Structure 1
Amino acid sequence: MAKVRRYSSPYLSDIAGGKVVVSCQRCGLERRYDSAAMIERAGDVSLPELRIMIARAEGCPRADNVYRDRCELGYDPECWNGTRPKPTDVP
C-alpha cells in the first residue's frame, strides 16, 4: 500500500540520500543538512513545512509571518544531488 501524502509538494523523502541546502538572501543565512539526518529528526515532512521548521530553529523572527514581511528562506534544488559547488568552493 502506497503512503498517503497530505500535500502535493515534494517531501523530504524525495531527496533522501542528498543534501538539503537552504539560503536566505535577506539575512544571508546559508545551511546544508543531510537529508537522512533530517528525516530522523523531523520525520518525512513536506518541503514547505520543513522550510518553516528550519527558519524557526535558526531563530528567524519572520518564520511565522504568512502575508507580509515573510521569511525568505528557500531551497537550492541544484545542490540536493551535490551537482553544484558550495559558495565557498567557487574560486
Structure 2
Amino acid sequence: MRNAEHATSPANMLADHKGETVDFICEDCEILKRLKPAALLEEYGNQTMPSLPELVAKSLGCKRTENAFYDRCKMHFHFSPDEWAKRMGYIDPREQKRGEFRFSDLSRWHRLYVHCSCGRKNELDRERLEKSLGKEALISDAAGKLVCKKCGVKGSAKIIVRSPPRD
C-alpha cells in the first residue's frame, strides 16, 4: 500500500501572512488601504496573495478591473519605503554612511574601488572577491584582507562603493 501524501496549501496564501496589516495602494485612484488579515480572510476566504489587490479594488468599486489591456487597474501591495528599497535592490544612504554593506546589498552596476594609505587606487574585481568571501560578507571585512601591490601593507585599504556615471 502506498503512503498517501497530505495535500498542502500553495505557498503565498493570505492565511500564511505574518504582518499586522496588508497594505494596498493605487496612485491613479489615490487610494491607500490598510486592512487586517482577519478581515480579508472573512471577506474573501484564503486567497493567494497575488489575487488580493484586484479583489480589494473590485470591492472598492474600481471600474478599471474589468479592463484587461488598456487603462487597467494598477492597485498593488504597498510597502514601507525601507522595505520597498530593499525589495528593489537599492541601497539605503544611511547604511552607506555606516559602511555596513554586504556584497548581497549591491546591485550589478555598483563598482568597488580600493584606496590604500600609500596613495594607490584601483578598481576591484568584485566577482572574484565576492566568490572568495561569500555574498553575505561585509565589504568592510574584505578591506582588511587586501594586500597593497605597491607598499605590501595588509589591512590599511579602504573600499569605496560607487555607481558608474550615466551616459
TM > 0.5: yes
Distance 2:45 2:19 in 1: 14
The reply to whether residue 3 of structure 1 matches residue 5 of structure 2 is no
What amino acid sits opposite 1:42 in the alignment? Y
Q: What do the CA deviations read for 1:44-78 (whole angstroms, capped 9, x no partner)? A: 10122211110011011101222221111110244
- The structure that has the greater radius of gyration is 2
Q: Against the structure 1 CA distance between its residues 75 and 57, is the aligned structure 2 distance closer, same or farther, given a 3 Å change threshold? A: same
More moved, 69-78 vs 22-31: 69-78
Q: Against the structure 1 CA distance between its residues 51 and 28, is the aligned structure 2 distance closer, same or farther, given a 3 Å change threshold? A: same
The reply to whether residue 41 of structure 1 matches residue 43 of structure 2 is yes
Instruction: Give 4+ residue runs of structure 1 displaced > 4 Å after superposition.
Output: none
Gaps of 5+ in 1: 80-91
Higher relative contact order, structure no. (Cα contacts within 8 Å, ≥ 6 residues apart): 1
8 Å contact from structure 1 (residues 16, 36) kept in 2: no
1:22 to 18, 24, 30: 24
Gaps of 5+ in 2: 1-5, 82-167
3-state DSSP class of the match of 2:34?
Answer: strand
Distance 1:71 1:36 in 2: 24
Give the equivalent residue in structure 1 for 2:109.
none
3-state DSSP class of the match of 2:33?
Answer: strand
TM-score by length of structure 2 reads 0.41
Distance 1:36 1:17 in 2: 11
What's the RMSD between the two structures over aligned residues? 2.1
Question: Identity over the aligned pairs, expressed in percent?
Answer: 29
TM-score by length of structure 1 reads 0.70
1:31 to 27, 30, 33: 33
What amino acid sits opposite 2:45 in the alignment? G
How many pairs align? Answer: 76
